[in-house]
Amino acid sequence: MKSNSSIEKKKAIVSVFLYSNQPVTKCQGRYFTKMKNFVDFLALLSSKSPDYRLIVPCNSIEQSETAALIPINLPSDLIEVNSYQGHTQALLRTIPNAYHLRKQIKKTLADGHSVIIAGPGPNSMLYLLSLLLPKNVKFAFFIRGDTVKTVENMYKGRLIGRFAIELVKIFQRRIYSLLKQRRAIAFTYGTKLRDIYAQHGKAQSIAPLIDSSDISTISTVSREAHVGGILKVLFVGRLSREKGIQDLLDACQLAVKDGTPFELTIIGHGPLLDSLKDYIQTHELNGWVSLIGYVPHGGKLMTYFDSHDLLCLPSYTEGVPRVIVEAFARGLYVAATPVGSIPALFSEHLHLIENNSPRAILDAINWCRSHTPEIKDAAAGLPKVANLYTLEHHVESVKKQLNQFAVADR
């Protein structure tokens, strides 16, 4: 005969509030985003149960402003909170947003539901909610990278840097504490982060990075046109110090001096945009470097993947870069620095750059140039590798873990 406690666990309704820290915009009832990053995974997860509610920072825009944005399918019953731009605004909006959410969560608790708050970490919203809500509320953190290292690189040399780093450390220590109390579970993007958080409590490695519709086996004809000629190198990412984009430009200049030039296409936006333009002009690299700017996710971006020979990511810090799997999905080979979870997840499928120095970056690019047949063979199997990192591949596992965690220790 089953015990009363096991019957209670079966009857318990698990309500999961899924907080996305990625702001979206709204126009005429439709939602848009600048890039698919994390909100698409949470949206898919929320569609798997009527008791899962998506929470998004949101603001309204005019129709004319949607041209450069990506339409994204979000559930109709989502909860909208005040949107923001940048870290400072995010902190300021956290307090009113958290109190707004606390009311809805307390009502759900009063209805007898078990509640989990899930979202990215370390994060100010989940930190504050963990202090405001009763101790029977649990948390699930999606850890996508080493946030402390990322913030250190972003704010290096700035007065506010020390404050920002200490604040992130406070948020991180709170996660460790909740894990030790068995009030939290950590879903880490990669095994390296899992091993860190598992020291404090329950942690599981996941990597939901791209939609299955982005995976396509393509012809290698366009790439073969460049074999033995000028290599076409692509960079896609935020134009900021931690991404190593300046070092990649230095490598491009070094290649021209060495007589081994390559064509570099840079896609992205960020704080280094103007300085990169000046550098290209000053060092007369206009014939070798194309600074495209922001390109929304979709067909146009895929065209850039398909028309290049190599994706180069000389980052100083990363979690699990989505762009690597996007390149794999298009059969594009990748050279990247061994940071974050890149070595643990992808070392068998890409070329690891020894370090971030321009010379090391150039050596890696030249290696790829001189090993074209091997790269061609490896690239042919990359779309199959990408299948392991689709949102659909991971969402059911995460849902199962959340439901089990909600009723554990009851």
Rounded average pLDDT over 68-74: 82
Percentage of the chain modeled with pLDDT above 90: 54
Q: Where are the alpha helices (DSSP H) in 213-298?
A: 221-224, 245-258, 273-282
What CATH number is given for 4-208+390-407 in this structure? 3.40.50.2000
Give domain limits for the chain.
4-208+390-407, 213-389
**pLDDT for 45:** 92
**pLDDT at 296 (0 to 100):** 79
Ranking 239-248, 332-341, 384-393 by mean pLDDT, the lowest is 384-393
DSSP character at residue 316: S
- pLDDT the model gives residue 409: 67
pLDDT tens-place string over residues 346-400: 988 999 999 999 999 999 999 999 998 888 888 888 988 988 888 888 898 999 9
Taking the model in full, what pTM does it have? 0.80
Fold of 213-389: Rossmann fold (3.40.50)
Q: What is the pLDDT of residue 245?
A: 96
Half-sphere exposure of 188 (CA within 13 A, CB side): 26
pLDDT band at 173 (very low <50, low <70, confident <90, very high): very high
Q: Are 89 and 20 in contact (CB under 8 A)?
A: no
Q: What is the pLDDT of residues 148-167, one digit of tens each?
A: 888 887 788 788 888 989 99
Minimum mean pLDDT range among 57-71, 252-266, 292-306: 57-71
Asked if 301 and 295 touch (Cβ cutoff 8 Å), the reply is yes
pLDDT computed for residue 220 by the predictor: 41
Burial class of residue 51 (count of CB atoms within 10 Å of its CB; 0-12, 13-18, 19+): middle
User: Do the domains spanning 4-208+390-407 and 213-389 agree at the CATH topology level?
Assistant: yes
Describe the chain by its helix, strand, coil percentages, rounded to 5.
45, 20, 35
Q: For the chain, what's the residue count?
A: 410
